[in-house]
Amino acid sequence: MNGAGGASAGGQPDGVSGPAGMGGPVGPVAPGWVGPAVPDWAVGPVGGAGGGGGDLRHSDAPWVRAAGSTDHLVTHLGPVKGELETAHQGLTAGAGALASLAELSSVRDSWERRLEAARGECGSLAGKLRAVARCQAEVNEVVRSGFDQVKTQSCGGAR
> What pLDDT, on the 0 to 100 scale, is given for residue 96?
60
pLDDT in tens, 101-117: 778 888 889 999 999 99
CA torsion 75-77-78-83 (nearest 10°) is: 140
Confidence of residue 126 (pLDDT cuts 50, 70, 90): very high
E strand or H helix that includes residue 106: helix 100-148
For residue 63, count other CB atoms closer than 10 A to its CB: 20
The answer to whether 63 touches 71, Cβ cutoff 8 Å, is no
More confident residue, 89 or 136: 136
pTM above 0.75, yes or no: no
Q: What is the pLDDT of residues 11-69, one digit of tens each?
A: 434 433 334 443 334 444 344 434 444 444 444 444 444 445 556 677 889 999 999 99
For the CA atoms of 100, 101, 106, 111, what is the dihedral angle to 10 degrees?
100
Residue, of 124 and 156, whose pLDDT is higher = 124
List Cβ neighbours of 53 (8 Å cut-off, separation of 6 or more): 44, 45
| Mean of all residue pLDDT scores within the chain | 70
Please give the pLDDT value at position 65: 94
Would you kindly state where each structural domain of the chain is located, as residue ranges? 61-95+109-141
Task: Give the percent of the chain with pLDDT over 70.
Answer: 54
3-class DSSP state of 29:
coil
Q: Are 111 and 82 in contact (CB under 8 A)?
A: no
Q: Would you state the pLDDT for residue 153? A: 58
Q: Given this model, what pLDDT does residue 28 score?
A: 41
Burial of 29 per CB tally in 10 Å (0-12, 13-18, 19+): buried
Confidence of residue 130 (pLDDT cuts 50, 70, 90): very high
Residue 80's pLDDT band, with cuts at 50, 70 and 90, is very high
pLDDT at 7: 40
